[in-house]
Each structure stands twice: as C-alpha cells, then as structure tokens.
Copies of this chain bind each other. A is one copy, B any other.
Amino acid sequence: MRKLEIKDIEDIALGAALLGAGGGGDPYIGKLIAIGAIREMGPATLIDPEELADDAQVAAIAMMGAPTVLAEKAIGGNEYRALMDMVSQFLGKPLDAIFPIEAGGVNSMLPIAASARMGIPIVDADGMGRAFPELQMVTFTIGGIDSCPMALTDEKGNTVLYRTISNKWTEDLARAVTMSCGGAVSVALYPMTGKQLKEYGVRNILTRSQRLGEAIRTVKDYEESGTSEDHFLEFTEGYKLFKGKITDVLRETRGAFNFGRVLLDGIGEYKGRNAYVDFQNENLLANVDGEILATVPDLVCLVDAETFSPVTTDALKYGKRVVVVGLQCFEMWRSKAGLELVGPRYFGCDTDYIPVEVRCRGGQKND
C-alpha cells in the first residue's frame, strides 16, 4: 500500500500514455482529472492485488468512447458515485476497491480520481496491460469473468445498467448508448472478487507506468551524450520499428471509435523509406516498406522523436517527427484465447500474429 500524491501523477500519466499504444486518452486531460481530485480530497491509496481479500468486491472504472471525444467531454465528481452506487445496489454490497480497465492517459487516471473522491483504494492491476478499443478485450474475458452488471453514465445524468450474455454483447450494447450520449461516457464494469483479479489481472500496471513515465521525463539527461534514444529503448525494452515525419493522417470517427492510418516518410537512418501505422483508437499495426513489423496484441507506440513523449492517435499531426516503437504485450495475450480476442485478424488485418521480437529479428516475414 502506498499513497498516490500529486507528484506521482505526472509520471503515471506519461507512462500510461505510452502503454496506451496510441489510445486510452490524452494524458494531459487525465492528469488534470486526477490532480483535481487529489487536490480536493487528498491522496489516493494504491494497493497491490495481494492486499485484497479473496472475497473482496472490486470493479473497474473507465471512460468509454472515441479518444477525440474524451478530450472534449469533462468528467465531474458525481459520475463515480453514480456508477458505484448502481453496481453496488445490484450486487447487494459496496465495492472494497476499484481498478483501471486499461493503461492509458485518461483511463489510468480516472480510477485514481475515483479512488481519491470515493475514499476506497485503487488496485495496481488492470485487464489489458495496455489499451484496446473494445471492452471485451480484457484478460478477464479469457478467465470467463462477466463484464456485467455494468453501469454506464453520461455527464448529463443518464444511467444504464447492463446484464448481457457475453462480454462482446456488453461491448455492442454499451457502444450503441455511448454513441447516443455523444461519443464518450463513464462506466463501471467487470465487478469481480479479489481472487479473480489476482488470477487474471495484469499486475503492477500503475507502478510500471510510473517508472516508464519517470524514465521518459528524465530522458533529456542523455541528450548531450546523444544516447537518449538508446536509453529510451533500453528502459522500455522496445524495438525500434521506424523513425519518420508524419506526411498524412487519415481519420474517421465511426461507431464511437477513431479509425485511421498515419503515413510516415523516413528521417535519419530511415531516409527514403516509408511506413504507415493503422489504428482503431489504439495503434494496430506498423508496416515499413511493405513489411509488417508489429501487430496487435503487441504494442505499437509512436513517441516524439526528440522528447520521447508518447503521441496518442488523436494528437497525430502533419509534420510531427516520431519514432515508432514495438513493445511486447502481456504474455496471456499470446495464447490462443488471447489472440482470438485481440489478434490482428480480429481487427481485419490480414496476417497471423507473429511476436514483435520475432518479426524484428527478421526470422519470419509477414504473409
């Protein structure tokens, strides 16, 4: 158990935005939400899953919708209470703790704000170890854990409670309401026991985010020696896929998702080469000179070529210089069940999954 104070927030937001793999929301917005809550209510309490009783009642808190909309819709203090009340009323008992559903600039921050405001701990575990666009895409689905009862609320005070026959149905029915509510809503979902979270959660996600954020923040110390990129790749355990200038961003907001492709012209040692990255909220696939170098569920991250700050898909802009980095995903995603949920074919990418470390070794070509 440790306290999360204002000084911790910046690094967590920064690191979580990297793990968001382009999605999970703008870390600047997320930071403001968490800092606002801590300033008003005092620090949040972060606990390890092992500190939870097996029969503890926990649930995830998140925003759902297109990141571009998340950035424009505020979340107030009332939403958390409304969500927790709905879920608690349905379960017949209060929540002992909450946890983030995914890593991301906004979705790592909201549960911290909720923890500070509600006075219950936040658990250092999530359901993705990164961000994914759809709500069934969690390790909990692999574990057969129900996303319902799931509560949804918008900033106006409309609330919806779901009980569905599968987590994909929850996604479909919640997405429909999200669109009708203007493209972004707050949700409480995956109510489960402490035991279930210990078994299927991705552990240390906030602590890992914080360490990554700290490293990104201090990477400028290596600027003079010209080794900041090496340093960045070392602490992220990342594979450098490309370095380039954004020449075009194709975007479409459809079904409360941001779909698109960002086109890159090589710079530095990549001069004369081309790449693109496809995304659905999160980056799905990096293709360099016609060769796929990384796909979901591995993380494809774009970071600023100078500062190594993560660039979310809604912040992609013509002329921006970025490094494209591949990170290995949480091991459970590489199982058969994991790849059925979040493998490249689910997202319409015509390739089998090949781990980023294999693709980058050049051992196997894309098909």
Contacts and interface: CB of A to CB of B under 8 A. Distances in A.
A220 B279 CA distance: 66
Contact of A158 (B156, B163, B181): B163
Contacts of A158: 162-165, 169, 173
A157 interface: yes
A266 to B, nearest CB: 43
A250 interface: no
Interface in A136-183: 156-165, 169, 172-173, 175-177, 179-181
A122 B24 CA distance: 49
B164 A173 contact: no
A173 B165 contact: no
A160 B180 contact: no
A160 B173 contact: yes
B180 A172 contact: yes
A160 B162 CA distance: 5
Interface string A178-213: 011100000000000000000000000000000000
9 A-B pairs with least C-beta separation: A176-B176, A161-B161, A176-B180, A158-B164, A159-B163, A157-B165, A172-B180, A173-B177, A158-B169
Contact of A160 (B156, B161, B165, B181): B161
Nearest to A181: B173
A19 B158 CA distance: 33
B157 A160 contact: no
Which bucket holds chain A's interface residue count? 10 to 19
A353 B89 CA distance: 46
B163 A173 contact: no
A179 B156 CA distance: 23
B180 A173 contact: yes
7 contacts: A156-B165, A158-B165, A158-B169, A160-B161, A160-B173, A161-B161, A176-B176
Contacts of A169: 156, 158
Contacts of A160: 160-163, 173
A180 B157 CA distance: 22
Nearest to A180: B176
Nearest to A153: B163
Contacts of A163: 158-160
A160 B176 CA distance: 12
A145 B160 CA distance: 19
A188 to B, nearest CB: 14
Nearest to A172: B180
Contacts of A162: 158-161
Nearest to A161: B161
Nearest to A160: B162
A172 to B, nearest CB: 5
Contacts of A156: 165, 169
A352 to B, nearest CB: 30
Nearest to A159: B163
Contacts of A179: 176
A141 B4 CA distance: 47
Contacts of A180: 172-173, 175-176
Contacts of A157: 164-165
A173 B162 CA distance: 12
A161 B181 CA distance: 16
Given A158-B163, A158-B165, A159-B163, 18 more contacts: A156-B169, A157-B164, A158-B164, A158-B169, A158-B173, A159-B162, A159-B164, A160-B161, A160-B162, A160-B163, A160-B173, A161-B161, A172-B180, A173-B177, A173-B180, A175-B180, A176-B176, A176-B180
